[in-house]
Amino acid sequence: MKHTAAFISRRDGVLLAIIAVVAIAVGLRAPVFLTLRNALDIANDSAILAILVMGQMLVLLTRGVDLSAASNLALTGMLCALAGRAWPGLPLPALLALAAVIGALLGAVNGVLITAFSLPPIVVTLGTLSAYRGAIFLASGGAWISDHQIHPLIKGLPRETWLGLPALLWLALLAVAATAWLLRWRREGRELYALGGNPSAATYAGIPVNRRVMTAYTLSGLFAGISGLLWVGRYSIAFTELAAGYELTVIAACVIGGVSIAGGIGSVTGAVLGVLFIGVVNGALPVIQVSPFWQQAIAGAVILFSVALNARSQARGVRQILETKHTAVTAGVAA
Amino acid sequence: MKAFDTWERVLLALIVLVYLLFGLTVDNFLSPYALADSTFNFSEKGLIALAMALLVVSGEIDLSVAATMALCSLAMGFAMKAGAGVPLMLLAALATGIACGALNGWLVTRLQLPSIVVTIGTLSLYRGLALVLLGDQAITGYPETLSTWGNGTLGDLLGVEKLIVPIEFAVLLLAAVAVGLLLHRTVHGRRIYAIGANAVAARFSGVAVNRYRFALFVFVGIMAALAAVLLTGRIGSTRPNLAMGWELDAVTIVILGGVAIEGGRGSVLGTVLAAVLLGSFTFALGMLNVPGIVMSMIVGALLIVAMVLPRLLRRLKAPTGLRVQGA
């Protein structure tokens, strides 16, 4: 256990160092990159991603994946925008609650399908990815909700400043703190690691696996829903293709941050660093005048590099059979 | 593992239902020309779904297949710009497809990474490369031959006017027969099932698991190249967003076709039938002016229903207290 803890912090340290090197290298070419203002810009841009990553991480820990996160974000955002247009008197808490409830419900649909019918998460969320995306079209009739039709409170929230920091950043910090608290100090959170590490052992140990998986998908949906409200507010627009394909960026941030797609491994610190990495790279490209077309290719290369790195350092042996003579022998003895 | 099982019958019945329903309600839906036209809707997707089916049966997945198609089409375009003839253009597409598949296969087999993460990464990488190389430009002006392959009929090729079977559809059928024979009639096919059912046991039984996995990823690359050639010929242009999102369509076809996502089960016939079913259904919706996004919503819902339904039925059939696992 101690070994694992030490390793994780070392990986985080390396990632942090890489981020620092990238930032300084870019800063040398364009000093504007290292100003506080730019740092705040990057933090602000990464805030929504951080919230989404927290939800995705919970799901990844259970050996699942939530591909519908971006569609959920867009659908919830659109429904909130429509609600805000229909009832201009809605107060902010009501809008936030609406986003949370819709998002959580959409997430729970994934959870029910996965647990009640023991379906593979990737296929279920692939299905709901298209289904939710289509639902946006049905809800809006294909129309765009543009700047002047969006509820002023929705637009206002991401532009608030609390105690000198942008509200988006505070909300992201809140999501990160809540997730860290859940995963570190709550039994439910510890059980997510346990069941991701070994589902059958978790069942034998008396962990209500299905209920925990439900929790993970519902929370992922909830985070996605809140992100939807923030996204619509920040960019002042809601339309069918909003944030399309963003689920891959979310998963990329998790993987870069050291969250294992095979479940049971991952830390909040790592995930936040993953978000930061993507934020810094995306923020750096325009500054050093690299075409934004490179963004996606770089993200892909980084994903591959990080998973390869993860696989190298993680638990040799457990999943590898017939790899080396030595492990084969020990496997034989164990059997 | 019979090729014509309950699920294939259900699919066939659904296809008949779709054609009957829309044939009676939509004018000209059952005319030979409309029927021939409807096959364009699923031929290229069917090709990549066939390769994907093999991969999924073996317990892997390739989400980068559509991005591979974009790169293959790009390679063709660049070859053409460099003055290459049609054979060299085909070679460029094929080589690109093989390279993309080989990279996936290498990462999965050599570095022992889960294929879903690898191919999410290469999806980003390949699509990103297409964007970098082409930006917001498009390559057009492909030779007539390619357009004929994409849009023409067997009749055009053989000089028989009455034969209106599209070339793309003929290619799909040919590929389906070949893949079907491979999976259901050869030892290689049996081994692919074995790997999907239990890769460790297969390895212990002497199956060169990683070699098969690698070959299957390369095969997906080859089929992606073939699909890219046909698609490029059909639409006559290459853009970085070519075949965007098709990986999801291919996976949907495979799952709807009765291939188990966890591997080890599925048939080629089911996959082809699912391709036809989805293609004809969306074609009919298109004739009814249903927007594309609503179609994809229906397809997504269908995907989930296709998985829930057999499990519900199995649960109803199974005696109480007895858990049927993966039967």
Question: Which distant-in-sequence residues (6+ apart) come within 8 Å of B210 by Cβ?
Answer: B109, B110
CA distances from B4 to B7, B9, B273, B277, B327 (A): 8, 7, 11, 16, 17
- pLDDT at position A2 over 50: no
CA A235 to chain B, closest CA, distance in angstroms equals 22
Answer yes or no: do B131 and A296 touch at CB < 8 A: yes
- pLDDT at position A13 over 90: no
Answer yes or no: do A130 and B122 touch at CB < 8 A: no
**Range of weakest confidence among A106-110, A220-224, A293-297:** A293-297
**Range of weakest confidence among B88-92, B118-122, B175-179, B301-305:** B301-305
Q: Which residue of B has its CA nearest to A293?
A: B132
Contact A73, A246 (CB under 8 A): yes
Contact B214, B109 (CB under 8 A): yes
CA B144 to chain A, closest CA, distance in angstroms equals 31
Q: Spell out the domains of chain B, with CATH numbers in brackets.
A: 6-22+33-309 (1.10.3470)
Chain B interface includes A122 (CB < 8 A): yes
Q: Among residues 125-164 of chain A, which lie with CB inside 8 Å of chain B?
A: 126-131, 133-138, 142
ipTM at complex level:
0.80
Residues of B in contact with A252 (CB under 8 A): 120-121, 124
Chain B interface includes A311 (CB < 8 A): yes
| Angle CA A313–A314–A315, to nearest 5 | 125
* Torsion sign (Cα): B182, B221, B115, A73: negative
Domain ranges of chain A: 2-334
Residues of B in contact with A251 (CB under 8 A): 120
**Spatial distance between the Cα atoms of A106 and A101, rounded to a whole number of angstroms:** 9
**Which one of A134, A251, A299 has the shortest CB-CB distance to B297?**
A134
Q: Among residues 196-215 of chain A, which lie with CB inside 8 Å of chain B?
A: none
Q: Which residue of A has its CA nearest to B295?
A: A134
pLDDT tens digit string along B282-292?
888 888 888 88
A106 or B322, which is more confident: A106
Residues of B in contact with A322 (CB under 8 A): 200, 203-204
pLDDT tens digit string along B2-20?
556 778 888 899 899 988 9
Cβ atoms < 10 Å from Cβ of A256: 28
- pLDDT at position B323 over 60: no
CA B136 to chain A, closest CA, distance in angstroms equals 9
Confidence bin at A263 (pLDDT 50/70/90) = confident
Answer yes or no: do B300 and A65 touch at CB < 8 A: no
Phi, then psi, of B323 in degrees rounded to 5: -100, 120
**Spatial distance between the Cα atoms of A128 and B218, rounded to a whole number of angstroms:** 30
B247 or A310, which is more confident: B247
Closest CA to B112 of A316, A292, A289: A316
**Spatial distance between the Cα atoms of A190 and A187, rounded to a whole number of angstroms:** 5
Give long-range contacts, CB 8 A cutoff, 24+ apart: B282-285: B282/B41, B283/B37, B283/B38, B283/B41, B284/B18, B284/B22, B284/B26, B284/B29, B284/B38
Average pLDDT of A255-270?
A: 88
**Spatial distance between the Cα atoms of A58 and B165, rounded to a whole number of angstroms:** 51
Contact A295, B128 (CB under 8 A): yes
**Spatial distance between the Cα atoms of A134 and B295, rounded to a whole number of angstroms:** 8
Average pLDDT of A171-177?
A: 95
Please return the burial class of A266, using the count of CB atoms within 10 Å of its CB with bins 0-12, 13-18 and 19+: buried
Lookup: tokens for B232 = 């490029």
Answer yes or no: do B297 and A123 touch at CB < 8 A: no
**Total residues belonging to chain B:** 327
Most confident listed range (A140-154, A291-305, B216-230):
B216-230
**Spatial distance between the Cα atoms of B268 and A268, rounded to a whole number of angstroms:** 43
Hey, is A285 helix, strand or coil? helix
**Spatial distance between the Cα atoms of A213 and A62, rounded to a whole number of angstroms:** 7
**Which one of A130, A248, A319 has the shortest CB-CB distance to B120?**
A248
Report chain A's C-alpha Rg in angstroms. Answer: 21
**Which one of B117, B131, B295 has the shortest CB-CB distance to A255?**
B117
**Can you give the pLDDT at residue A327?**
44
Disruptive mutation site among B120, B241, B256 for chain A (greatest number of A CBs within 10 Å): B120
**Can you give the pLDDT at residue A41?**
86
pLDDT tens digit string along A274-286?
999 989 988 888 8
Residues of A in contact with B311 (CB under 8 A): 117-119
- pLDDT at position B28 over 90: no
Confidence bin at B319 (pLDDT 50/70/90) = low
Contact B51, B266 (CB under 8 A): no
Please list the alpha-helical segments (H only) found in A87-208. Answer: 92-116, 121-140, 152-156, 167-185, 187-197, 199-204
Lookup: tokens for A35 = 């100003």
Lookup: tokens for B147 = 């357009």
Lookup: tokens for A36 = 């506080």
Average pLDDT of A100-126?
A: 92
Average pLDDT of A18-29?
A: 89
Contact A53, A250 (CB under 8 A): yes
Disruptive mutation site among A63, A123, A255, A312 for chain B (greatest number of B CBs within 10 Å): A123
What value does the mean pLDDT of chain A take? Answer: 85
Give me the percent of chain B exceeding a pLDDT of 70.
96
Question: Which distant-in-sequence residues (6+ apart) come within 8 Å of B83 by Cβ?
Answer: none
pTM value? 0.84
Which residue shows structure tokens 């007539």? Answer: B144
Cβ atoms < 10 Å from Cβ of B188: 13
pLDDT tens digit string along B258-310?
898 888 999 999 999 999 999 988 888 888 888 888 888 888 888 888 788 77
Average pLDDT of B135-149?
A: 90
Cβ atoms < 10 Å from Cβ of A153: 18
Class of domain A2-334: mainly alpha
A312 or B234, which is more confident: B234
**Can you give the pLDDT at residue B183?**
95
Disruptive mutation site among B304, B307, B324 for chain A (greatest number of A CBs within 10 Å): B304
Chain B interface includes A290 (CB < 8 A): no
**Interface A:B, Cβ pairs < 8 A:** 148
**Spatial distance between the Cα atoms of B197 and B200, rounded to a whole number of angstroms:** 9
Please return the burial class of B84, using the count of CB atoms within 10 Å of its CB with bins 0-12, 13-18 and 19+: middle
| Angle CA B96–B100–B104, to nearest 5 | 165
- pLDDT at position A227 over 50: yes
**Range of weakest confidence among A22-36, A289-303, B9-23:** A289-303
CA A207 to chain B, closest CA, distance in angstroms equals 20
Disruptive mutation site among A114, A246, A304 for chain B (greatest number of B CBs within 10 Å): A304
Give me the percent of chain A exceeding a pLDDT of 90.
41
**Spatial distance between the Cα atoms of B240 and A216, rounded to a whole number of angstroms:** 36
Residues of B in contact with A321 (CB under 8 A): 200, 203
- pLDDT at position B67 over 60: yes
**Which one of B111, B255, B299 has the shortest CB-CB distance to A123?**
B255
Average pLDDT of B94-104?
A: 97
**Spatial distance between the Cα atoms of B251 and B48, rounded to a whole number of angstroms:** 9
**Can you give the pLDDT at residue B2?**
53
**Spatial distance between the Cα atoms of A60 and A70, rounded to a whole number of angstroms:** 16
Residues of A in contact with B59 (CB under 8 A): none
CA distances from A287 to A34, A275, A291, A302, B238 (A): 11, 19, 10, 19, 30
Q: Which residue of A has its CA nearest to B310?
A: A117
Chain B interface includes A106 (CB < 8 A): no
Residues of B in contact with A299 (CB under 8 A): 124, 128
The number of angstroms, rounded, from the C-alpha of B115 to the middle of its chain's C-alpha atoms is: 17
**Spatial distance between the Cα atoms of A178 and A51, rounded to a whole number of angstroms:** 10
Residues of B in contact with A129 (CB under 8 A): 248, 300
Residues of B in contact with A319 (CB under 8 A): 112
What value does the mean pLDDT of chain B take? Answer: 89
Q: Among residues 28-87 of chain A, which lie with CB inside 8 Å of chain B?
A: 65
CA B122 to chain A, closest CA, distance in angstroms equals 6
Confidence bin at A9 (pLDDT 50/70/90) = low
**Total residues belonging to chain A:** 335
Closest CA to A136 of A214, A240, A273: A240
Q: Which residue of B has its CA nearest to A306?
A: B121
